[in-house]
Structure 1
Amino acid sequence: MSSGLKAMAAQPIKMVRPKHWDETVEEAYRFQKAGWRDAIEYQTLSGNNASIDRWPHNGYIKKLCRKGDGFFYYYNKERECPDNDIHRTKLYEY
């Protein structure tokens, strides 16, 4: 592979939409809000910016590099996914 091509992220085999909020939904919501499918795609395609900053008290994502423009997306310490966005979030299985 040439140095100009980026590595391809693993492709999911299944996608489901959640019915109720939990920490898995919150994690997926934060990645998808920043334009990423999930942690696997983020770490594979973002290169040197692959570190995921997390809040120490609950482990929620604190900061992600936005897909496409390289700016950062910052998140609060508490839940960010509103109830009406739970069914819009996608959970992928590999």
Structure 2
Amino acid sequence: MSSANYNISKPKSMSRAKGWTAEVENLFRFQQAGYRDELEYIQVKQGALVEKWPQTGYVKKLQRRDNTFYYYSRKRECAEHEVNKVKVYAY
């Protein structure tokens, strides 16, 4: 297997989430599945669509790098004590 770089964008900076938002909720879900964010997920999975709950816009299902899946609730899953662990990247 070659170590081909899939032209993955590198973030310019990273900060920690200060409070819960819908964006932080989705970042929490991507990071739990082993990705920085939706951009990295799409690049690694080569354009895979991200399933989201229509009512909330939260991520519904993600495929991990080991090809197993994470399934998420339509309700908030990022507990208050987890918010400051979420990394927010700027490109």
Which residue of structure 2 aligns with residue 75 of structure 1? 72
Mapped partners of 2:22, 2:82: distance in 1: 14
Q: CA deviation at 1:19?
A: 1.5
Aligned residues: 90
Q: 1:90 aligns with which of 82, 87, 91?
A: 87
Which residue of structure 1 aligns with residue 14 of structure 2? 15
Q: Secondary structure at the match of 1:78?
A: coil
Q: Deviations over 1:36-68 (max 9, x none)?
A: 0111110001126x110111111110000012x
Q: Secondary structure at the match of 2:89?
A: strand
> Which sections of structure 2, spanning at least 5 residues, go unmatched?
none
- The two structures, once aligned, show a CA RMSD in angstroms of 1.6
> Which sections of structure 1, spanning at least 5 residues, go unmatched?
none
Give the structure-2-normalised TM-score. 0.91
Determine if contact 1:12/1:93 at 8 Å carries over to the other structure. Answer: yes
Determine if contact 1:31/1:37 at 8 Å carries over to the other structure. Answer: yes
Mapped partners of 2:39, 2:64: distance in 1: 15
Give the structure-1-normalised TM-score. 0.88
User: What percent identity do the matched residue pairs reach?
Assistant: 41
Code of the residue aligned with 1:70 in structure 2: it is: N
* 1:42 and 2:41 are equivalent in the alignment: yes
Question: Are residues 4 and 20 of structure 1, via their aligned partners in 2, closer, same or farther at CA, if it must alter by over 3 Å?
Answer: closer
